[in-house]
Amino acid sequence: MKPLDVPGSARTNKWFMKQALKEAEKARSKDETPVGAVISWNGRIIARGHNEKELKNDSTLHAEMTAIKKASKNLGSWRLSECDLYVTLEPCIMCAGAMIQSRIRRLYIGTMDPKAGVAGSVLNVLQMENFNHKVEVEYGLLEKECSQILKDFFRELRVRKQN
Amino acid sequence: MKPLDVPGSARTNKWFMKQALKEAEKARSKDETPVGAVISWNGRIIARGHNEKELKNDSTLHAEMTAIKKASKNLGSWRLSECDLYVTLEPCIMCAGAMIQSRIRRLYIGTMDPKAGVAGSVLNVLQMENFNHKVEVEYGLLEKECSQILKDFFRELRVRKQN
């Protein structure tokens, strides 16, 4: 029985982030840095994405970019102003820019990226007065799980390099 | 006779920007905001792109994004560290982020975008100490032509709306 998968059941923000974590797992299974994202609209997931940069040799194939492209395709519109995006890792500048471009309403972040994140770490570009759209942000949703999957991945990488 | 099109001939930066302008013209012919880009590698154009956001209902389909994806496909690598990008309009935050992600070596900009450009207008993200890559930038290449095609497009839009 998977109660959270039953259509119409009350889906919490944690449930959506768990789905983003499942996407991150898919990335890990492909030896990609494990980052995953989903986009919700009217309480449903309308797009999923995970990092496929190395596998497909395309630096633009971050989890969020794939999810944004799919959501626009599914809704038949580039405007995602009624959509929320859940991502396991704080977005880089490209992905944050894509959220501004696509008018994402709200962003839920799992764990922060002190080196390249621009939702507060290196910069905060999602609430800048100068841009024509601001994205609401909530931080630390399933932070421990979202952080752990990255830690495990990089530890494994280091072990592999040593052997 | 088109001396600049002959392989092996000396191609100037202006020639490459003219090719980006040709891409901008393609966007205009599709009723898209006329922005175009090309990517050069070893003196040759390896990718072209123009804005197709409205036509394809995808906010990520800016000229630079399309060109970066194509260049990676052509070189078989996401690393474009020997590539230069020519774009008719100062990049937005998404596209500047993609240039950092893909390690573009040098960016040539036609005209500036005071409202959304992040190569000096709203922000300058291409030479930030915090990010792991910096993009060299040259400004004002064929500035007049790159600006004029945008002015013409928006003037035409206003006239259409009035009628």
- pLDDT, position B111: 98
**Closest approach of A119 to chain B, Cα-based (Å):** 13
Judging contacts by C-beta atoms under 8 Å, the chain B residues touching residue A94 are 94-98, 100-101
The DSSP annotation for B114-148 comes to: TTT-TBTTS-B-TT-TTSS---EEE--TTHHHHHH
Specify the higher pLDDT residue, A107 or A6. A107
Calpha distance B54→A76 (Å, rounded): 11
Nearest to B89 by CA among B48, B149, B45, B42: B149
Query: Measured between CB atoms, does A92 come within 8 Å of chain B?
Result: yes
Judging contacts by C-beta atoms under 8 Å, the chain B residues touching residue A78 are 53-54, 57-59
Judging contacts by C-beta atoms under 8 Å, the chain B residues touching residue A79 are 59
pLDDT tens figures, A72-89: 999 999 999 999 999 999
Active site residues of B: 64
Query: Measured between CB atoms, does B129 come within 8 Å of chain A?
Result: no
Q: Pick the residue from chain A with its C-alpha nearest to B64.
A: A60
The residues, ordered by sequence, that sit 6+ positions from A21 with a Cβ below 8 Å of its Cβ are A36, A88, A110, A142, A145, A146, A149
Report yes or no: A62 and A92 within 8 Å, Cβ to Cβ. Answer: yes
- pLDDT, position B2: 44
CB-facing half-sphere around the CA of A59: CA atoms within 13 A: 26
Average pLDDT score over chain B: 94
- pLDDT, position B3: 43
Calpha distance A102→A124 (Å, rounded): 17
Q: How far is CA B62 from CA A1, A44, A128, B69, in A?
A: 44, 28, 21, 11
Report whether pLDDT(B32) > 80: yes
Which stretch of DSSP H or E encloses residue A38? Answer: strand A36-41
What are the structure tokens assigned to B76, written together?
């078989």
pLDDT tens figures, A104-148: 999 999 999 999 999 999 999 999 999 999 999 999 999 999 999
Nearest to A71 by CA among B60, B109, B18, B67: B60
pLDDT tens figures, A13-29: 999 999 999 999 999 99
Judging contacts by C-beta atoms under 8 Å, the chain A residues touching residue B60 are 60, 65, 68-69, 98, 101-102
Q: Which of residues 16-45 of B touch A (CB under 8 A)?
A: none
| Predicted model pTM | 0.94
Calpha distance B67→A46 (Å, rounded): 27
Query: Measured between CB atoms, does B124 come within 8 Å of chain A?
Result: no
Q: How confident is the model at residue B161 (pLDDT cuts 50, 70, 90)?
A: confident
- Report yes or no for ipTM above 0.85: yes
User: CA dihedral in degrees (B104, A122, A60, A31; nearest 10)?
Assistant: 110
Report whether pLDDT(B41) > 80: yes
Judging contacts by C-beta atoms under 8 Å, the chain A residues touching residue B52 are none
pLDDT tens figures, A38-76: 999 999 999 999 999 999 999 999 999 999 999 999 999
Q: Report how many helices (DSSP H) and strands (DSSP E) chain A contains, helices first.
A: 4, 5
Q: How far is CA A152 from CA A5, A147, A159, B29, in A?
A: 27, 9, 11, 50
Active site residues of A: 64
Query: Measured between CB atoms, does A47 come within 8 Å of chain B?
Result: no
Q: Pick the residue from chain A with its C-alpha nearest to B93.
A: A97
Query: Measured between CB atoms, does A129 come within 8 Å of chain B?
Result: no
- pLDDT, position A3: 43
Query: Measured between CB atoms, does A72 come within 8 Å of chain B?
Result: yes
* CA angle (A84 as vertex; A100, B33 as ends), nearest 5: 30
Annotate B38-72 with b (16+ C-beta within 10 A) or e (fewer).
bbbbeeebbbbbbbbbeebebbbbbbbbbbbbbbb
Residue from the list B60, B97, B123 with its beta carbon closest to the beta carbon of A69: B60
**Closest approach of B6 to chain A, Cα-based (Å):** 30
Specify the higher pLDDT residue, A101 or B7. A101
